[in-house]
Amino acid sequence: MLQCTKTGFGKAEKAGYFVLYKYRSIFLFRWIMAMNLQIFESLSRIGAAIHESRQRARTRAELSRLTDRQLADIGISRSDIPAVAARGRRY
């Protein structure tokens, strides 16, 4: 622990304090950057999930507009539309 005298901190104590402060600042900076990265990754995953959901809805809507004959021509039935939209292919 640092002790203050009438003249202030000793040179060695003062240097040690500033070195500790420097490393604490570096640690805090790295921790903040790691948290920002985690937040960015979470937001990216949420954005990707929203994009995929909209794409599935768009595919489902487009396939639903086709007639049964057109669906048969591409090899799917009307009951296959949700599976095709969800997976991008028929299972």
DSSP code per residue over the chain: ----BTTBS-HHHHHHHHHHHHHHHHHHHHHHHHHHHHHHHHHHHHHHHHHHHHHHHHHHHHHHHS-HHHHHHTT--GGGHHHHHHHSS--
Question: 10-25 pLDDT, tens per residue?
Answer: 555 555 555 666 677 8
Question: 12-69 pLDDT, tens per residue?
Answer: 555 555 566 667 788 888 888 888 888 999 999 999 999 999 999 999 999 999 999 9
Q: From CA 88, how far away is CA 74, in angstroms rounded?
A: 13
* Domain residue limits at 55: 11-87
Does a structural domain hold residue 6? no
Indicate the number of domains in the chain. Answer: 1
Question: 70-90 pLDDT, tens per residue?
Answer: 999 999 999 999 999 888 655
Does a structural domain hold residue 77? yes
Does a structural domain hold residue 22? yes
Distance between the two ends of the chain, CA-based, in angstroms? 69
